[in-house]
Amino acid sequence: MNSSSHSFGKSVFELLSSMRFAISLLSILAVASIIGTVLKQAEPYNNYVIQFGPFWFEAYEKLGLYDVYHAAWFLVILTFLVASTSVCIYRNAPNFAREMKSFREHVSEQSLNAFKHKHEATTTQTPEALAASAQRYLEGQGYKVKNLPREEGVLLAARAGSWNRVGYFLAHSAIVLICIGGLMDGNLIFKVQQLLGTKKIETRDIPQSQVPAISRLSPSNPSFRGSVQIPEGSSADVVFLNVADGYLVQDLPFTVALKQFRIEHYTTGQPKNFESDIELFDRSGKKIRSATIAVNHPLIQDGIAIYQASFADGGTRLNLRGWNLFAPTASSFPIEGTVHQNATLTSAAGDSTLEFIDFRPFNIEDIGGDAAARGNAMSVLGGSPVGDKKHLRNVGPSFQYKLRDSRGQAREFSNYMLPLELDGRWYMMSGVRDAPNEAFRYLRMPLDADGNLESFMRLRGALLDPALRPEIAANFAHQALPQNAWGTEIEGKLTHSAEQVLALFAQGGFQPLGKFIEEKVPAAEREKAAGTYLRILELAGFEALKIADRQANLPPPKADDATGWLVRDTLNSVSDMFVYGAPIYLQLMNYDEVKASGLQLTRSPGKKVVYFGSLLLTLGVFFMLFVRERRVWLRIKPGHALLAMSSAKHTIDFEKEFTQHAQALDSLTK
Amino acid sequence: MVGAVSLFAVSQYHGDLARMDEAFFLKYLISSQAAIMWMCALFGLATLTYWAGLLARSEFTMKTGSALTWSAVALGFIGLMVRWYESYLIGTDVGHIPVSNLYEVFVLFCLITAMLYLYYEARYQTRQMGAFVLLVISAAVGFILWYALDRDAQGIQPLVPALKSWWMKLHVPANFIGYGSFSISAMLGAAYLLAKRGILASRLPKLEVIDDIMYKSIAIGFAFFTIATILGAMWAAEAWGGYWSWDPKETWALIVWLNYAAWLHIRLVKGLRGPMLAWWALGGLIVTTFAFLGVNMFLSGLHSYGTL
Ligand code: HEM
């Protein structure tokens, strides 16, 4: 019994210290690491559910694949690596230490003769004289030499490069140290607490102060890495640690207050620097210090490092104008919003919630630019390297919000404050998407000659107003027909068709029109019919604009190109409105910006250990790889000398050195 | 030499970027972009010359290959030096060492790989390996050309805040000594495997020599890659608040490192030699390339400074 457990322990020891096991570990670690890079880590769990479906989502969650590097099995691999390396050091230590000191002076002449690298020479010198000059030579080559009297002469035993072995100890202990340092900074303590049930992840979206003690970590927690967003003029005394699909609240031993957050820009508009002016207060409210932190310039307080990590909106107040997209008039209403807060929107279809998510004071966009400048061979071969060819431009502020209907369905919108020039004309842009992983689709609303949305809104209202339809259609038919057709049956027919086209368009834009054509018109004539209907719409649109302008007591629109485009763009825009997904458009009129700084706070006691380990690792690797361990023996008898040389690693350098020593011996013996 | 020409180039600017299109020397030879394109052309020529010399067993042709490689290195260096200066001409706040985006580091990669190779060439008195090593450099040159012509990537961009750090000057070059060395070892692995099969065997150096350079190259690469990774960790600690975040680029650096650690163990501890290690070194190129380029292309993370 005893002997079998003894041999079990021994074979575990053997396994751990075996090279094959070590290499397997390195490979497994590499493969495990790959998994974590292929699968995006620490995403919101919902994204995973969408990506994998409920079954695989759960399977992967059980395997810890959403946070591979903190999964239990990953830690087990690391532990094995530490164990294996330690055992390996333990096993080699006595041998290597002995080797480092030993001159292998007991080597027999016979075994020297059996060396692959040996060289013989005859000499007329006395053994002592030759030994003295050879010793000088070897010492000059960096060898430590021992002179041993032997029968009928001398044995010189020499070695060089013992630091190679020191390197082994340094590098391999370094691996152990680095892993230990890493574990110290990991979340092992929390994992244990979680297993014991004394700590629990918080998954609810509740105010920080209401998070119960079971999800809070005390200020004395030896290691953490968390983040917090502080709006200007506010302060925080906690940070949040993201864990799995929830978070933990880490209480801090001090309070951080943000006075100001600044972004500096390059002339091209790209951000150049982020800075926060912060003040620290102790728990009693006494000010400890004030400081400015920036990217790459953290501040350290009580062993906690404070980093500039990101920035966000801190609750900007937005002054908005809401446009009713489906109202028959150009009517708007004022509305106020604050980023990170909600507002209620009452309409005939029921209440919906406006959730203001974000505000961006600037947006750097790649505005296509002329294709000719791209890929211009001359500019590549010797042109200016000034990086403005990308047509990056600041297109001004934008804000983002979600509109959630009474059933809880939400769409996300992103509206620019300033108009954008596209194809030489100016538009207000509003982006919409159904899910966060989609790209925004844009509704572009044309501006009129005054740079306002009003003309578009008036025309849109008129097109959607059933009461105006007979008049628009009649005016259109009147304009479209030559004088001799006025009052005839043809005019009546045309008026009727126009009315029908307008009614279809008002139902859902181009789509119902297309469907109508498909149902009523034979395939061969559809294209022509579509062209005709479009033409009718455009001309009728112009009439509608005339009527709308008249009703607004404005002079009639000019019959020019600009008006033509306004009508065409409005038709497109109105058609898009039916899939825009909101009955209102929110136009940003002005804003009062409040910025927030994203800070990261860490306490990592393992860092020093890791750095020390890294130093040892560097030294160790250099010693191991670039210091070669060599041994030389010179057995001198009267009239005869035998040189033998050995090294654990045979390289060409070794061969060269051997040749050099052999030649040296020849010249010494001469 | 390089210093002198760079200084001459810099003097030609008279502190005005527009001179680039006027001064003859600048426009056609030593403005940064012109110099880099000359470097590309010379590397291409050097590759062809080395191969011609290898196939024709002509020592003289291969010497020409070396000379072309030296000139390419010189011009590449001038290009980077001048680019450094140009970046300050764009704006004193824009100026920075040209190792900050994918385009610049690819030039650096070509330079470092070529210089490491030239060192081995002198040390081992054998030029035949040039044909193989220059292939990898030519591939990088191909990428540079595509990146510049198709993606317009040669522009000097100001640094994002996270990159404005002294660590960058150390971390990036150290990394590229690693990448360059690993690439050389992979090409030597390929040469070894061909020679082992008798292909080109009579034209290539002895197997032991190829094997020895392959080992040396991996050893040097491993040492520098170790340092680079450590420097990267120290930088990350300062910029991102943690020395290790398991960001994809970091993780792939670890994978590369583990790969070569395993390689060294097998060779040095188990004493294994021969085709298996050559295959492994060749396979290492895939891992290295992915860490260098693939991560930027396919994975997103904190390191996304050079996207395609
Ligand atoms: C991440 C883990 C490790 C790294 C980075 C590492 C690194 C190295 C390096 C670079 C060498 C140099 C090769 C040389 O020139 O001698 C080496 C040698 C060696 N390693 Fe490791 N090693 C690791 C883990 C291990 C483990 C787990 C073992 C035990 C099974 C081990 C055993 C050895 C031995 C015995 C040598 C040869 C020492 C000598 O003879 O000089 N190593 N290691």
Question: Which stretches does DSSP call E strand in A363-515?
Answer: 364-366, 392-394, 398-404, 410-416, 420-422, 425-433, 441-446
Q: What is the pLDDT of residue A575?
A: 93
β-pair partners for A287: A281
Minimum-distance CB partner of B162 among A296, A381, A387: A296
Phi-psi region of A64 (alpha: psi -120 to 50; beta: other; left: phi over 0): left
Query: Which chain B positions have a beta carbon within 8 Å of A272's beta carbon?
Result: 93, 158-159, 161
User: How far is it, in rounded angstroms, from Cα A460 to Cα A444?
Assistant: 13
Residue A345: CB within 6 Å of ligand 1?
no
Q: What is the pLDDT of residue A482?
A: 87
Residue A373 one-letter amino acid = A
Minimum-distance CB partner of B34 among A33, A297, A382: A382
Instruction: Categorize the per-residue pLDDT at B13 as very low, low, confident or very high, splitting at 50, 70 and 90.
Output: low
- The residue among A635, A448, A617 whose CA lies nearest residue A545 is A448
Atom of ligand 1 nearest to the CA of B222: 10
Nearest-by-CA chain A residue for B104 = A385
Query: Which chain A positions have a beta carbon within 8 Å of B238's beta carbon?
Result: 296-298
β-pair partners for B241: none
Q: Looking at A286-290, A399-403, A496-500, B97-101, which range is the least confident one?
A: B97-101
Kindly give, in sequence order, each residue whose CB lies less than 8 Å from that of residue B45, ignoring residues fewer than 6 positions away.
B68
Contact A382 B158 (CB under 8 A): no
The CA angle A526-A527-A528, to the nearest 5 degrees, is: 90
Q: What is the pLDDT of residue A19?
A: 82
Contact B21 A384 (CB under 8 A): yes
β-strands A640-647, A216-217: how paired?
unpaired
Atom of ligand 1 nearest to the CA of A624: 15
Residue B190 in contact with partner chain A when CB distance is under 8 A: no
Contact criterion met (CB below 8 Å) for B179 and B105: no
User: How far is it, in rounded angstroms, from Cα B89 to Cα B19?
Assistant: 11
Name which residue sits closest to atom 40 of ligand 1, judged by CA: B269
Half-sphere exposure of B219 (CA within 13 A, CB side): 20
Give A109-147 as a DSSP string.
HHHHHT-SSEEEEE-SS-HHHHHHHHHHHHHHTT-EEEE
Contact A386 B17 (CB under 8 A): yes
ipTM of the complex: 0.90
Chain segment A320-343, per-residue pLDDT in tens: 999 999 888 888 899 999 999 999
Range A147-162 average pLDDT: 91
Q: What is the pLDDT of residue A500?
A: 92
User: Is the per-residue pLDDT at A349 higher than 80?
Assistant: no
Q: What is the pLDDT of residue B61?
A: 93
Contact B255 A33 (CB under 8 A): yes
Contact criterion met (CB below 8 Å) for B54 and B128: yes
Residue B255: CB within 6 Å of ligand 1?
no
Percent of chain A exceeding pLDDT 90 equals: 52
Residue with tokens 């060492």: B97
Name which residue sits closest to atom 43 of ligand 1, judged by CA: B265
Interface of B with A in 205-244 (CB under 8 A): 208-209, 212, 215-216, 219-220, 222-223, 226-227, 230, 233-234, 237-244
β-pair partners for A238: A251
β-pair partners for A322: A333, A586
Nearest-by-CA chain B residue for A275 = B161
Between A295 and B158, the more confident residue is: A295
Contact criterion met (CB below 8 Å) for B306 and B103: yes
Instruction: Categorize the per-residue pLDDT at B270 as very low, low, confident or very high, splitting at 50, 70 and 90.
Output: confident
Q: What is the pLDDT of residue B157?
A: 80
β-strands A441-446, A153-160: how paired?
unpaired
Contact A294 B157 (CB under 8 A): no
Minimum-distance CB partner of A607 among B33, B94, B237: B237
SS3 category, A509: coil
- What average pLDDT does chain B have? 86
Residue B102 in contact with partner chain A when CB distance is under 8 A: no
Q: What is the pLDDT of residue B23?
A: 63
Between B159 and B58, the more confident residue is: B58
Chain segment B109-136, per-residue pLDDT in tens: 999 999 999 999 999 888 999 999 999 9
Instruction: Categorize the per-residue pLDDT at A60 as very low, low, confident or very high, splitting at 50, 70 and 90.
Output: confident
User: How far is it, in rounded angstroms, from Cα A444 to Cα B43?
Assistant: 50
User: How far is it, in rounded angstroms, from Cα B46 to Cα A476?
Assistant: 75
Contact B37 A380 (CB under 8 A): yes
User: How far is it, in rounded angstroms, from Cα B73 to Cα A317?
Assistant: 57
User: How far is it, in rounded angstroms, from Cα B217 to Cα B186?
Assistant: 9
Contact A26 B226 (CB under 8 A): no
SS3 category, A240: strand
In angstroms, what separates the C-alpha of A71 from chain B's closest C-alpha? 13
Name which residue sits closest to atom 17 of ligand 1, judged by CA: B265
Q: What is the pLDDT of residue B301?
A: 55
Minimum-distance CB partner of B239 among A296, A602, A652: A296
User: Is the per-residue pLDDT at B192 higher than 90?
Assistant: yes
Best residue among A25, A84, A91, A168 to mutate for probing ligand 1, ranked by most atoms within 8 Å of CB: A168
Buried b (16+ CB within 10 A) or exposed e, A556-575: ebeeeeebeebbebbbbbbb
Query: Which chain A positions have a beta carbon within 8 Å of B34's beta carbon?
Result: 381-382
Contact A307 B241 (CB under 8 A): yes
β-pair partners for B59: none
User: How far is it, in rounded angstroms, from Cα B116 to Cα B228?
Assistant: 17
Residue B268: CB within 6 Å of ligand 1?
yes
Name which residue sits closest to atom 32 of ligand 1, judged by CA: A88
User: How far is it, in rounded angstroms, from Cα A335 to Cα A345?
Assistant: 10
Chain segment A222-273, per-residue pLDDT in tens: 999 999 999 999 999 999 998 878 899 999 999 999 999 998 888 766 778 8
Quote the longest CA-to-CA distance of chain B: 62
Residue with tokens 């000010």: A287
User: How far is it, in rounded angstroms, from Cα A72 to Cα A86?
Assistant: 21
Q: What is the pLDDT of residue A367?
A: 60
- The residue among B63, B192, B61 whose CA lies nearest residue B121 is B63
- The residue among A237, A243, A330, A321 whose CA lies nearest residue A279 is A237
Contact B32 A385 (CB under 8 A): yes
Range B186-211 average pLDDT: 91
- The residue among A429, A426, A431, A433 whose CA lies nearest residue A417 is A429
Residue B210 one-letter amino acid = I
Phi-psi region of A545 (alpha: psi -120 to 50; beta: other; left: phi over 0): alpha
Residue A248: CB within 6 Å of ligand 1?
no
- The residue among A464, A415, A405, A391 whose CA lies nearest residue A591 is A415
For residue B120 the two structure tokens come to 């081995």
Range A282-297 average pLDDT: 92
Chain segment A358-402, per-residue pLDDT in tens: 998 888 776 654 433 333 444 444 444 444 445 567 788 999 999
User: How far is it, in rounded angstroms, from Cα B15 to Cα A618?
Assistant: 43
Q: What is the pLDDT of residue B25?
A: 62
User: Is the per-residue pLDDT at B300 higher than 70?
Assistant: no
User: Is the per-residue pLDDT at B156 higher than 90?
Assistant: no
Contact A382 B241 (CB under 8 A): no
What strand order describes the sheet that includes A332-338? A332-338, A317-324, A584-592
Q: What is the pLDDT of residue A370?
A: 41
User: How far is it, in rounded angstroms, from Cα A154 to Cα A90?
Assistant: 37
Atom of ligand 1 nearest to the CA of A81: 27
Residue A195: CB within 6 Å of ligand 1?
no
Range A141-163 average pLDDT: 92
Half-sphere exposure of A13 (CA within 13 A, CB side): 10
SS3 category, A444: strand
- The residue among A1, A170, A169, A180 whose CA lies nearest residue A81 is A180
User: How far is it, in rounded angstroms, from Cα B210 to Cα B194?
Assistant: 11
* DSSP 8-state code for residue A186: T
How many Cβ atoms from other residues are within 10 Å of residue A482's Cβ?
A: 7
Between B144 and A44, the more confident residue is: B144
Give chain B as a DSSP string.
-HHHHHHHHHHHTTT-GGGGGTSHHIIIIISHHHHHHHHHHHHHHHHHHHHHHHHHT-HHHHHHHHHHHHHHHHHHHHHHHHHHHHHHHH-TTT---S-SSHHHHHHHHHHHHHHHHHHHHHHHT--TTHHHHHHHHHHHHHHHHHHHHHH-TTSB-PPPGGG-STHHHHHHHHHHHHHHHHHHHHHHHHHHHHHHTTSSTTTSPPHHHHHHHHHHHHHHHHHHHHHHHHHHHHHHHHHTS-S----HHHHHHHHHHHHHHHHHHHHHTS---SHHHHHHHHHHHHHHHIIIIIHHHH--STTTTS--
- The residue among A193, A235, A243, A229 whose CA lies nearest residue A213 is A193
Contact B155 A390 (CB under 8 A): yes
- The residue among A461, A459, A431 whose CA lies nearest residue A446 is A459
Residue A625: CB within 6 Å of ligand 1?
yes
Chain segment A118-127, per-residue pLDDT in tens: 999 998 889 9
Interface with B, mutate which of A19, A179, A386 (most B CBs under 10 A): A386
Contact criterion met (CB below 8 Å) for A459 and A468: no
In angstroms, what separates the C-alpha of B227 from chain A's closest C-alpha? 6
Kindly give, in sequence order, each residue whose CB lies less than 8 Å from that of residue A282, ignoring residues fewer than 6 positions away.
A253, A254, A255, A288
Contact B242 A225 (CB under 8 A): yes
Chain segment A394-423, per-residue pLDDT in tens: 788 999 999 998 888 899 999 999 999 888
Chain segment A608-633, per-residue pLDDT in tens: 999 999 999 999 999 998 899 999 99
Nearest-by-CA chain B residue for A70 = B246
User: Is the per-residue pLDDT at A291 higher than 90?
Assistant: yes
